[in-house]
A and B are shown apart, each in its own frame.
Chain A
C-alpha cells in the first residue's frame, strides 16, 4: 500500500511540476507589455511600454477598431510611447499595436468613458447638458451664479467618476491577480501541512519499529 501511494505521489508531484513549468514558459521570455489608455472628453490618450520601464519605440502604428472589429482609424506612437486619438463617435474603442517579436498591446475604452459636448445630451452626463442650455442665453457674469450648488455637485461627481474609472479597472485587474496568487498560496499551504503530517507520521512509524 505504501509503495502504491508513493508512486501516486510521484505522479502527482511530477504533474504539478509540469503544470508549473507550462505556466512559467507561457510568459513572454522578454518583458511584459504594459499599456494604459484614458479618455478626456472625446480625446483618447494612451501609452505603451514594457514592464522594465522602457517605453515603446516611436513610429509604431496603433490601430483603432470598433467593437465589431471594423477599423476606425490609426495613430502613431510619439517618442515617449504615447499616442493621442480623437474619437469621433461615442462607442467602444479598441486599440491594438504590434510591437514586434511577439509583443502585442491591446487596450479598450468603453463607450461610457467618452463624453463630448456634442453628445452630452444623449450621453448620461446630464449635468453638462443642463448647464450649457441654461447658460447659453445669459451673459458671462451670470454664468457663475447660474451654476447652482446641486449642479456643481453633479458636475464634480461626473468628473470624479471619469477620473476614478481607470483606477477602478486597474484595481479589478489587480484583485484578480491577487486571487490567483492566493489560490496558489492556499494550495501550497495545504500540501505543506500534509507534508509535515506525513513526515511526523513517518517518524512515529520508525519509532514504533
Chain B
C-alpha cells in the first residue's frame, strides 16, 4: 500500500546525503550526532540574508557496517554546493577526533565545491583542521575512506581532504580536483580550459581518469551495493601511515609527473598507459573499463 522508498535503487549521484547514508550502512543503524533538531546552523549566513539549513549541509554520526561500528559523515551537495563553512567543518573535525579516541574507521561521503565563500576564513581554517584530524586519525590506526559520486564532485578544500584519505572510491560521475573548471576558465581563459565542455571536464577530473592515473583506489557503479562492496574491500586492507608510506608516495608522484607531465590531454595519458583506443574510454561500460584499466597507475595508501 505504502510506496516505500527503495534504498537499493538509489542513484548515488541523484540521492541526498541522508539517503546515501541510509542506503550504505546496515539498515536502521545510523545514529546522528548534532542532528538537525539541535539547530547548529551557520552563524554567518544570516549576515548575507541567506537561508540556513538545520544540519549546515553536514551529517555526522555512528552506524554499523556489516555489523561493525563505524563513523560516517556526508555532505549535502545541494545545499550551497556542499560548501564547507564553520559549523559544517567543525562537525567533521569532531567526528574525526572521535574516530581517533574510539579507534573506529570513518567513511566520508564527499559532495562539495570547496569552501563556502560567505564564511571563507572560517571555512579555510576548517579545511586545515579537518586535514590535521584526518592525519591524526590515520596515525592512530583508523582508516578514513572517501566516497565520491555526488553532483558537486569533490573540489577545493574537499579535494585536499580527499588527498589525505586512506582510500578513495569514485564513480564515473564523481569528480576530484582542487581548482574547479569554472575557476580555471575565469583565471586562465577559455583557451586554457573550457568549463562548458563537459567531455573535457570529465576526462580531466572525472572518476575514470582519476582511477586510471592512480588518484582513486576503486572505480564503482553509481549505487549503494557497488559502494558497499568497495568499502568492504578497502577496509579489509591494512591501513597504515608512516614515513615509509609517504616516501613511497613522493617517489610515485615524481614518477608520474616525469611520465605524464608533458601530456596535453587526458587521452594522451591513457594512450601512454597502454589503452588501445583512448578516445573511447568515456563511453566504456564499467566491465569494459576495468579491463582496459589493468595497466593503470597504482594508487598507494597515501596517494
Genuine A/B complex: no
Write the residues of chain A forming the contact surface with B, with a CB cutoff of 8 angstroms.
Answer: none
